[in-house]
């Protein structure tokens, strides 16, 4: 790296008013607009739910409750909910914890324990309706079988069997508000905007006619690319710190004990986005439409990643923005670091590949563009 080039890049961008608009003011304005305008729409989206999938384990010894629930599970399936038997309790709980199943029902010792993992409002209602319905039907059947009491007299004598259905949340997650949702999304957008900045990094040097002078200087082209990148990257890291501080104070986003991991995750996205922009600029040979291309790519990443509206987990995995959003939200609201532990590594690996691509193509043509 060349400290002279790094310092030059920092000073150039600090003197540009657009830097402050795009990296700080624009994301904060978007949080305010989307948080206010789409609050009701955002709250309604949680009612669009995927099919509820319940796995259940029956005890080894035959029990009346288990036999009744097995019969209920075989007949209760619909387009809203499905039941499937499983033999291993630990496997069932892991499936629920990973989110591949909505709930696990463990039947033993005359009671049902239901484990769930972050079901939305509608999924919770579907689960409650089915299990409470089963509890009521089983209570009536058990009471009739034991006492032979006429159905008309049941209201006074049926025990409260609904207490045998115990719902426990397995690593439940607090749902973010609209402002909190878009605060994290717009920070992610701010990180991806560096893709456009990366694509313009050397085009601005060409416009100022300073690129040729850098090539004439006795500095390897690798150092030119890395030093320009680092100068811009340092400024983005500082703006990221400021954004995270502002949203924590004004939008109640509690980064918690995983704040360092979250910061590193955002930094890795900045690095990847900027290098991807530089790579697109080099591959496009500095064409005028490169900014448009990077803008389209950035918007696709944000759309598929769920920055504007909640999307399914599978769709979000098609976008680097989705990886970061899932990882950060799990770390903030579920206190889980499983995803956030691998996302920075993947982004840094992709960034390393992009550096190799940039250097290889710039050397082949004898220049960066």
HEC secondary structure over the chain: CCHHHHHHHHHHHHCCHHHHHHHHHHHHHHHHHHHHHCHHHHHHHCCCCCCEEEEEECCCCCCHHHHHHHHHHHHCCCCCEEEEECCCHHHHHHHHHHCCCCEEEEEECCEEEEEECCCCHHHHHHHHHHHHHHHHHHHHHHHHHHHCCCHHHHHHHCCCHHHHEEEEECCCCCCCCHHHHHHHHHHHHHHHHHHHHHHHHHHHHHHCCCHHHHHHCCCCHHHHHHHHHHHHHHHHHHHHHHHHHHHHHHCCCCCHHHHHHHHHHHHHHHHHHHHHHHHHHHHCCCCCCHHHHHHHHHHHHHHHHCCCCCCCHHHHCCCHHHHHHHHHHHHHHHCCCHHHHHHHHHHHHHHHHHHHHHHHHHHHHCCCC
Whether 228 and 89 map to the same domain: the answer is: no
On whether the CB atoms of residues 178 and 35 are closer than 8 A, the answer is yes
CA distances from 101 to 81, 89, 130, 341 (A): 11, 13, 16, 23
Whether 230 and 81 map to the same domain: the answer is: no
> Which residues, at least 6 apart from 20, have a Cβ–Cβ distance to it below 8 Å?
none
Model confidence at 344: pLDDT above 90: yes
Whether 182 and 245 map to the same domain: the answer is: yes
More confident residue, 15 or 205: 15
Quick one: which of 69, 100, 64 has its CA closest to 83? 69
Q: What is the pLDDT of residues 113-127, one digit of tens each?
A: 888 876 666 777 788
Q: According to the model, what pLDDT value does residue 156 have?
A: 39
Q: According to the model, what pLDDT value does residue 186 have?
A: 94
Whether 257 and 306 map to the same domain: the answer is: yes
Quick one: which of 142, 92, 280 has its CA closest to 202? 280
Model confidence at 101: pLDDT above 50: yes
On whether the CB atoms of residues 275 and 357 are closer than 8 A, the answer is no
Q: What is the mean pLDDT of residues 217-237?
A: 73
Q: According to the model, what pLDDT value does residue 261 have?
A: 93
Q: What is the pLDDT of residues 6-56, one digit of tens each?
A: 777 777 777 777 777 877 888 999 999 888 887 766 554 444 557 888 999
CA distances from 74 to 56, 78, 112, 288 (A): 11, 10, 17, 63
Whether 341 and 358 map to the same domain: the answer is: yes
Q: What is the mean pLDDT of residues 327-353?
A: 88
Quick one: which of 55, 62, 113, 115 has its CA closest to 88? 55
Whether 127 and 231 map to the same domain: the answer is: no
Last residue of a domain, one of 140, 169, 198: 169
331: left (phi over 0), alpha (psi -120 to 50) or beta: alpha
Q: According to the model, what pLDDT value does residue 207 have?
A: 58
Q: What is the mean pLDDT of residues 256-280?
A: 91
Q: According to the model, what pLDDT value does residue 37 have?
A: 80
Q: What is the pLDDT of residues 53-85, one digit of tens each?
A: 899 988 877 778 888 888 888 888 777 788 999
Q: According to the model, what pLDDT value does residue 297 have?
A: 92
Q: What is the mean pLDDT of residues 256-271?
A: 92
Last residue of a domain, one of 120, 154, 169: 169
Residues of the chain with pLDDT > 70, as a percent, come to: 77
Question: With bands split at pLDDT 50, 70 and 90, how would you rate the model's confidence at 364?
Answer: low
Whether 207 and 326 map to the same domain: the answer is: yes
> Which residues, at least 6 apart from 88, have a Cβ–Cβ distance to it below 8 Å?
57
Domain of 53 in residue numbering reads as 48-169
Q: According to the model, what pLDDT value does residue 276 have?
A: 93
Whole-number Å distance between alpha carbons of 344 and 323: 9
More confident residue, 291 or 350: 350
Quick one: which of 177, 192, 361, 303 has its CA closest to 252? 177
Whether 233 and 300 map to the same domain: the answer is: yes
**pTM score > 0.85 for this model?**
no
More confident residue, 217 or 229: 229
Model confidence at 167: pLDDT above 50: no
On whether the CB atoms of residues 105 and 143 are closer than 8 A, the answer is no
Q: According to the model, what pLDDT value does residue 242 have?
A: 92
Q: What is the mean pLDDT of residues 318-344?
A: 88
Quick one: which of 310, 341, 317 has its CA closest to 328? 341
Q: Which tokens belong to 98?
A: 């990973």
Model confidence at 155: pLDDT above 50: no
Q: What is the CATH number of the domain that holds 148?
A: 3.40.190
Q: According to the model, what pLDDT value does residue 235 have?
A: 86
Last residue of a domain, one of 169, 188, 209: 169
Model confidence at 166: pLDDT above 80: no
Model confidence at 318: pLDDT above 50: yes
Whether 120 and 237 map to the same domain: the answer is: no
Model confidence at 216: pLDDT above 90: no
Whole-number Å distance between alpha carbons of 182 and 307: 7
On whether the CB atoms of residues 279 and 294 are closer than 8 A, the answer is no
Whether 13 and 120 map to the same domain: the answer is: no
Model confidence at 305: pLDDT above 70: yes
Whether 88 and 215 map to the same domain: the answer is: no
Show the CA angle centred on residue 355, arms to residues 350 and 360, nearest 5°: 125
Whether 164 and 183 map to the same domain: the answer is: no
Q: According to the model, what pLDDT value does residue 2 have?
A: 63
Counting the structural domains of the chain, the total is 2
More confident residue, 161 or 84: 84
Q: What is the mean pLDDT of residues 318-326?
A: 93
């Amino acid at each position: 790296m060349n400290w002279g080039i790094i310092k030059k890049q920092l000073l150039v961008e600090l003197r540009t008013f657009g830097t402050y608009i795009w990296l700080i003011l624009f994301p904060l304005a978007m949080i305010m607009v989307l948080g206010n305008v789409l609050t009701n729409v955002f709250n309604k989206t949680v009612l669009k739910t995927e099919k509820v999938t319940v796995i259940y384990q029956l005890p080894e010894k035959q029990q009346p409750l288990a036999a009744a629930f097995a019969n209920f599970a075989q007949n209760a399936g619909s387009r809203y909910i499905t039941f499937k038997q499983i033999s291993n309790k630990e496997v069932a709980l892991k499936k629920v914890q990973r989110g591949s199943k909505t709930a696990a029902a463990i039947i033993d010792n005359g009671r049902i324990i239901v484990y769930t993992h972050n079901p939305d409002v509608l999924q919770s209602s579907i689960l409650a309706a089915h299990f409470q319905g089963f509890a009521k039907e089983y209570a009536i059947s058990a009471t009739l079988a034991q006492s032979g009491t006429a159905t008309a007299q049941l209201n006074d004598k049926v025990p409260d069997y609904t207490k045998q259905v115990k719902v426990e949340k397995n690593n439940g997650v607090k749902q973010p508000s609209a402002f909190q949702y878009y605060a994290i999304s717009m920070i992610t957008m701010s990180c991806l905007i560096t893709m456009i900045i990366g694509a313009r990094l050397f085009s601005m040097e060409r416009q100022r006619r300073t690129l040729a002078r850098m090539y004439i200087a006795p500095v390897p082209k690798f150092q030119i690319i890395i030093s320009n990148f680092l100068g811009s990257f340092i400024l983005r890291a500082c703006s990221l710190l400021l954004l995270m501080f502002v949203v924590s104070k004004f939008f109640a986003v509690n980064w918690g004990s995983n704040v360092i991991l979250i910061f590193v995750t955002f930094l890795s996205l900045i690095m990847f986005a900027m290098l991807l922009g530089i790579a697109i600029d080099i591959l496009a040979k500095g064409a005028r439409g490169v900014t448009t291309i990077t803008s389209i790519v950035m918007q696709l990443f944000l759309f598929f990643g769920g920055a504007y509206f909640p999307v399914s987990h599978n769709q979000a995995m098609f976008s680097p923005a989705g990886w970061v959003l899932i990882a950060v939200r799990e770390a903030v609201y579920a206190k889980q670091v499983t995803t956030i532990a691998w996302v920075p590594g993947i982004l840094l690996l992709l960034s390393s590949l992009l550096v190799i691509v940039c250097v290889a193509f710039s050397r082949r043509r004898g220049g960066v563009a």
